[in-house]
Structure 1
Amino acid sequence: MPSSPVKSPVRVGIVGLSARRGWASQAHLPALRRLDGFEVRALSASSATSARQAAEKYGIAHSFGTAAELAASDEVDLVVVTVKVPDHREIIRSALAEGKAVFSEWPLATGLAEAEELTALAAECGPRTFTGLQARSAPVVRHLRDLVADGYVGEVLSTSMVASGRGWGAEFPPGGAYLLDRATGANMLTIPFGHTLDGLTSVLGDFDSVAGIAAVTATRRREITDPRTGTVHRPDVADQVVFGGTLASGAVVSVHYRGGMSRGTNFHWEINGTEGDLVVNGDHGHLQMSTLTVTGARGCDPGPAELATPERYFEPELSALRGTDAYNVGAAYAQIHRDLTEGTSVVPDFAHATRHHRLLDRIERAAAAGR
């Protein structure tokens, strides 16, 4: 059963907020500080010293050298997990044991088995859980979902997507070795492809749980050199994913997701129906962070026309963050606040994350089996 509603403002403790850099300082902190319903009360980092430095830089009252200490603090209602994926399990376990609500960045876990374990523990302990699948919080994606639900294209017949993942191409980002090791659970399939595929299902519905999936995965860039050190890395993660399947509605899906960036198309998504068509174009395939344009045509329309996203899909408190990576994270937080204080259940929880891990596992197993 869901735990009792949390009082506002929700007191937040961020695990992994660094004084130097990172996703927490780039997206989570700016978003939280724009929303009246949250107060960032605590943080933890890799050591007590680095935590104090971050607390001084950001003006946060409490700092802890370990995530377990943060989770045990009476100053925290919601534990936010923004560290590398292999560290999620122990941090989340300690937060759930303290009865704290948890917001974990996606991927939730290094794999399906670990996600299932955390979901079972959350159900046993009772606190609310949330997963950072922010693509479905994007105003454009929410508008697209409503267009489909309201019958803009009629019955959806099929959908197709071609996308570039930015990373996992020729360039080597700082700290990039972590993303080339399959054991970490952080790779192109789980991160940008995982976010984008969840956005697709938020618009069109889940995949058929019985029908098969056909998939091919490949590692085409077999050596990547770190220009800063000269170290040559040999990835064991896919930089090409091609798959097809069927949604529960019967609509047919085809996707080609590739690493790096293309000199041609970097994001193109079509939704084709009995009454019309929708086309989404963007600057890259990280759906939760890309700049998107929707066009559509139906009935006797002479051709596709832009369908601007109405203002009602935007959070007024986050207006200053439009066009930044923090906006969609903030939109998710705005709904998390409503879920925590009003008892709703809109933002994906750990159970949803596990279902998504299961879908990715199906794709990997289909590729391995040559189906």
Structure 2
Amino acid sequence: MATELNVGIIGVNTSGGWAAEAHVPAVQAVDGLHLTAVAAGSPAAADEAAQAFDVAKAYGDGLALIADPDIDVVTVATRVPGHRDLLLAALAAGKHVYSEWPLGAGSHQAREIADAARSARVKHAIGLQLRESPAVRMARDILRSGALGRALSASVSSTTAGFGPDVPPQFAYLEDPATFANMVTIQGAHTVDLLIALAGPLASMVALGSRQFPQIAVGAPRQLRERITFDHLLMQGRHATGAPFTLEVAGGRTGKTPFHLDLVGETGHLRLVGGAPRGLQSGRIGLIRDGEPQNINEGPFAALSDAAVNVAGVYAALRDDIRHDTSTVTDFEYAVRLTRLIEDVLTTPQASRLQADEAWPGR
């Protein structure tokens, strides 16, 4: 295998978006990866992105990028409804893949994609990038060392400026439940996943979804309509360790600290703080241990933006899995299980329960 892996990113636009903001600088910062191609919704947009980011190849169609024999790793960073066809095509072509979260528009699609990845025998990463946050990794190491003693409780507050009463035109699609891209499936899932990554599997859970802004102004010109997705989520339950947890995810909020997570043990306390106005998954996380801020070693990614630093960690883990034929990165099988949990929350949000015999492992 060549020392350097060629990466192609689908969904890059110079007008903005997560691919340009996070994926492009992340790939360019990881040793052993080379950003070889980008794809956008039109040849003109792709050419513009390739020129802006100094990329050799541009495609106006994601399938054309996938067909390029020089590409080793395909990243799908489009809107969720487009994930299935692109991921299945990339897997059929034998490419390693990085998919943004959510994997598919519901568990049926997620299961189909995960099965295809297993059959293709390629490496695959799901974009739950908080697991590769340097602060989260440090917190996980402290917890695993037993330094905090027996876990007593966990609590999370996770807010976003999005999903408030005013919905800009570019985010109107997030108000359609069929896209599987809303506050619960995105912000909620990233928050729940972080809690599981640190405090372990859930043994029981009750969830309550609400609409704190039942009337919204959408699009341009603004049109008033009823919100049919949830903009607020409460959860409580127990981890498999027996420690109880509480979790709140809220849209339409602004503040200097949009996120904090507290882990209390018999002999110590950890608090993760930070995040970003658009959601905790989009920013840097800091760590406080027993009231003292910790120095976080971000290694080669210290100079990256808040949006890119955690994404770069996922690419580095995927690179190592490809090189060494290991399976350390959070993958599509896990994405299926998390999708099912989120579907439970959405299906019966006022009485959603995960029973003890359904507890599934965090990874």
Question: Would you call these one fold, judging by a TM-score over 0.5?
Answer: yes
- 1:66 paired to 2:64: no
Q: Any conservation in 2 of the 1:86–1:184 contact (CA below 8 Å)?
A: yes
Aligned residue among 17, 22, 25 for 1:27: 22
Pairs within 5 Å for 1:102-251: 102-208=97-203, 212-226=204-218, 228-251=220-243
Pairs within 5 Å for 1:1-371: 7-208=2-203, 212-226=204-218, 228-262=220-254, 266-282=258-274, 286-297=279-290, 305-311=291-297, 314-316=298-300, 318-321=301-304, 323-369=305-351
| Structure 1 counterpart of 2:190, one-letter code | H
Moved more, 139-148 or 57-66: 57-66
Alpha-carbon distance change, 195 to 52 in structure 1, aligned in 2, over 3 angstroms: same
Unaligned ranges ≥5, structure 2: 354-363
Q: Any conservation in 1 of the 2:13–2:20 contact (CA below 8 Å)?
A: yes
Q: So what's the TM-score if we normalise by structure 1?
A: 0.88
- 1:82 and 1:182 map into 2 onto residues whose CA distance is 19
- 1:284 and 1:270 map into 2 onto residues whose CA distance is 18
Q: Any conservation in 1 of the 2:275–2:281 contact (CA below 8 Å)?
A: no
RMSD of aligned Cα (Å):
2.1
Q: Any conservation in 2 of the 1:213–1:363 contact (CA below 8 Å)?
A: no
- 2:141 and 2:125 map into 1 onto residues whose CA distance is 23
Partner-residue secondary structure (3-state), 2:7: strand
Moved more, 360-369 or 68-77: 360-369
- 2:275 and 2:121 map into 1 onto residues whose CA distance is 40
Which deviations, in whole Å up to 9, do the C-alpha atoms of 1:332-360 show, x marking residues without a partner?
Answer: 11222111112222221111111111221
- 1:292 and 1:99 map into 2 onto residues whose CA distance is 35
| Structure 1 counterpart of 2:31, one-letter code | D
How far the C-alpha of 1:20 sits from its partner, in A, is 2.4
Partner-residue secondary structure (3-state), 1:104: strand
- 1:98 and 1:42 map into 2 onto residues whose CA distance is 16
How far the C-alpha of 1:129 sits from its partner, in A, is 1.0
Aligned-pair identity (%): 34
Q: So what's the TM-score if we normalise by structure 2?
A: 0.90
2:358 corresponding residue in structure 1 = none
How far the C-alpha of 1:265 sits from its partner, in A, is 6.8
Q: Any conservation in 2 of the 1:162–1:256 contact (CA below 8 Å)?
A: yes
Unaligned ranges ≥5, structure 1: 1-5, 298-304
- 1:234 and 1:8 map into 2 onto residues whose CA distance is 53
- 1:12 and 1:337 map into 2 onto residues whose CA distance is 10
